Amino acid sequence: MYFLGNLPRLVGPLLVPSRFPEIVAQSVGGLRTHTLRLAERQEEGKGTTTFRFEPERPLAWQAGQHLLYTLPHERPDKKGTRRFFTIASPPHERQVQVTTRTAEPRSSFKQALLALGPGDPVSVRGPFGIFTVRDPGRPYVFIAGGVGSTPIHSILLDLDHRRLSIDATLFYANSTPDFVFKPELDAVAKRHEGFGIDYVVSPRRVSADDLKAAPQFDRDPLFYITGSPGLVGHYYGLLRRMGITRRRIRRDVLVGY
């Protein structure tokens, strides 16, 4: 997944000056360069591929963060040779997982990514990002669209691995019933009574009534929205019209491929 990285995107609404020290503190990893080597590739469904990379040296991250990938290749298009991708795997797995759309038409970067063979290197910087869960004991409402589910996947598997209770509802929207990570997410839901999933297939959209029906809604939850600019903008606007304050909303925006 490629994001409007952690510079203009470091925030919930936009950059909040009062949180600047916190943002800097959580982003110092961006000064570090690492080499990853492709371990395996797996097709997740129509037009979606998972790549698993092995770091040459230990790489620590928080669930929900992302890395900046550099992949030099011949005749790069105008989008260039660098992309931000969420780390879709939880930290305990140690391998770095990228799950992204690979359907046609593909950017030159995606073509180069698909051309990687086992053991081929990729340079990354990071990790970046504050789209993380800092208070696991608080209730949450997650809204994810398509492969925008990658940070939520990492967060939920991390909480589950740490044997922490999950008090959350996930609204997972997709254009088809082919939801990436569905078996893993369903398994987490079976293990956690307080966690529920609403799979939303287009043309249905999550409504204000749907959000209000979430068991966490009346208990001051944080709202995490991740996906395309259109999806994030729509649900951010909906939450604001419902009276949810900016400080209770976190956004992670998918901006291109």
pLDDT at residue 257 is higher than 60: no
Residue 166, Cβ neighbours under 10 Å: how many? 22
Confidence band of 256 (pLDDT split at 50, 70, 90): low
pLDDT at residue 4 is higher than 60: no
Confidence band of 8 (pLDDT split at 50, 70, 90): very low
Residue 56 CA to residue 51 CA, distance in Å, equals 16
Poorest-confidence range of 1-5, 87-91, 192-196, 210-214? 1-5
Domain with CATH 2.40.30.10 in the chain: 17-128
pLDDT at residue 7 is higher than 80: no
What integer pLDDT is reported at residue 45 of this predicted model?
A: 78
- Residue 136, exposed/middle/buried by CB under 10 A (0-12, 13-18, 19+)? middle
Residue 194 CA to residue 245 CA, distance in Å, equals 24
Q: Looking at domain 17-128, which of 3.40.50.261, 2.40.30.10, 3.90.1720.10, 3.90.1150.150 is its CATH number?
A: 2.40.30.10
Domain with CATH 3.40.50.80 in the chain: 140-253
Q: Which residues pair with 86 in a beta bridge?
A: 66
Length of the chain: 257
pTM higher than 0.85, yes or no? Answer: yes
How is residue 52 written in tokens?
Answer: 């698993």
Residue 107 CA to residue 240 CA, distance in Å, equals 35
Say if CB 97 and CB 50 are below 8 A apart: yes
What integer pLDDT is reported at residue 61 of this predicted model?
A: 97
pLDDT digits (tens, 9 = 90+) for 210-225: 999 999 999 999 999 9
Say if CB 59 and CB 34 are below 8 A apart: yes
What integer pLDDT is reported at residue 32 of this predicted model?
A: 84
Residue 24 CA to residue 128 CA, distance in Å, equals 10
- Architecture field, domain 140-253: 3-Layer(aba) Sandwich (3.40)
pLDDT at residue 25 is higher than 50: no
